[in-house]
Amino acid sequence: MEGILIALVVFLLAMDQQILTRTLHRPLVACTIFGMLLSNTAIGMAVGASLEMTLLSFDTARYYLHRPGSVLYSCFAVLLAVKAGMNAAEAAGVALVFLGIGCGIAHLFDVGSLVFLQQARKAAETRDEKKLTMANFLPLVLRALIFAVIAFAGVSQAENFTTAMETFGDRFGWILEGFAAAGALLPLVGFAVLLRNLSAKDMPGAFFAGFACAVLAGSTLSFEAAAAVCALLAFGLGAFAYHLNLNETSSASAEKTKKGDSGKWW
């Protein structure tokens, strides 16, 4: 019964990582809920506070890569603290393997969800809302289900399961890392498609200017701040190009009217 309850909560929290307010899956909240389920709220809260600080101490890039694994991490850290009697800091360290496993599964789905993207494209062609809804929610449910199954499998023997996962990570973790690396590179396909559809061939300068600005801004600012700065620059550049085109058009039409022939050709 305990296993089913924990698996159900993991299922719901794993979905919260991507939908709604994305607040419940935060370690502080998630660990407290797991603590309550294991009848030890105080330990749950202490582990949650420790995990929250661990994740916040990661640098931004790592934080983003590893954030999807935080539900499994929270679940097993609390299980280890309550069932194996570890203190909060020790549990946070030992359960770290689940951050990697959860992250690997999330990135596996970054690649696997492309099947559903294809389904969404077909739904767009046929204006089929039901199919689009399925394409949107099915990967979410499947991913959460895998998280729930892992949690269910490890509830009764958390310590042994953690050791088994570490062995699995040593042998096959590189596959999950491969999916993580591929998942991190995949947006490039989306960017290339956008560039093609924007007919970027005649404006390569704008692309390289954007890249250079991002490099300069990214060297001193956080990546988010750099992206916001680049967006403002893009806005300014777009507005400048708009006014330039507007002036050219109006001066060309004024020229035509002045000559008198091309303006009234009929």
Partner 1 sequence: MVVGTGKYTNTNEAFPLDRKTLNQIFVRSFFADASHNGETGSSAGWCWALLPGLKQIHKNEEDLALSMGHELEYVSAASPMATLAMGVTLALEQQKCDLETIRSARTVASAAADSFGTALFDYVIVPVSAVGCCSLAANGNIAGVLLYFAVLAVLSVLLRYVMLYYGYSKGTRAAESLCRHKDALKQGARMAGIFMLGAMTFLFIRGLQPDMYLPNNYQMVSFADALESVLPGLLPLGMLGIIWHMLTKKNRSLLMCVLLLLAVGMLGALLGLFGGFFISPLHLPWLNL
3-22: contacts with partner 1 (CB under 8 A): 18-22
Q: Based on the shown chain and the rule CB under 8 A, indicate whether residue 214 belongs to the binding site for partner 1.
A: yes
Candidate residues 149, 228, 252, 254; the one interacting with partner 1 per rule CB under 8 A: 228
Distance from C-alpha of 252 to C-alpha of 250, rounded to nearest angstrom = 5
Q: Based on the shown chain and the rule CB under 8 A, indicate whether residue 34 belongs to the binding site for partner 1.
A: no
Amino acid found at 89: A
In this structure, what token pair is assigned to residue 178?
Answer: 């491969």
Taking the least distance from each CB to partner 1, the nearer of 149 and 194 is 194
- Among 73, 115, 108, CA closest to 180: 108
Q: Based on the shown chain and the rule CB under 8 A, indicate whether residue 137 belongs to the binding site for partner 1.
A: yes
Neighbour-count burial of 19, counting CB atoms closer than 10 A to its CB (0-12 exposed, 13-18 middle, 19+ buried) = exposed
CA dihedral 8, 14, 19, 23 (to 10 degrees): 100
Candidate residues 132, 150, 151, 158; the one interacting with partner 1 per rule CB under 8 A: 132
DSSP string, 123-182: HHHHT-HHHHHHHHHHHHHHHHHHHHHHHHHHSTTHHHHHHHHHHHHHHHHHHHHHHHHH
Q: Based on the shown chain and the rule CB under 8 A, indicate whether residue 261 belongs to the binding site for partner 1.
A: no
Q: Based on the shown chain and the rule CB under 8 A, indicate whether residue 252 belongs to the binding site for partner 1.
A: no
Candidate residues 7, 9, 28, 91; the one interacting with partner 1 per rule CB under 8 A: 28
Q: Based on the shown chain and the rule CB under 8 A, indicate whether residue 181 belongs to the binding site for partner 1.
A: yes
Which x/- pattern, by CB under 8 A, does the window 48-67 give for partner 1?
xxx-xx--x---xxxxxxx-
Site for partner 1 in 152-171 (CB under 8 A): 169-171
Q: Based on the shown chain and the rule CB under 8 A, indicate whether residue 175 belongs to the binding site for partner 1.
A: yes
Candidate residues 40, 157, 173, 256; the one interacting with partner 1 per rule CB under 8 A: 173
In this structure, what token pair is assigned to residue 63?
Answer: 């934080």
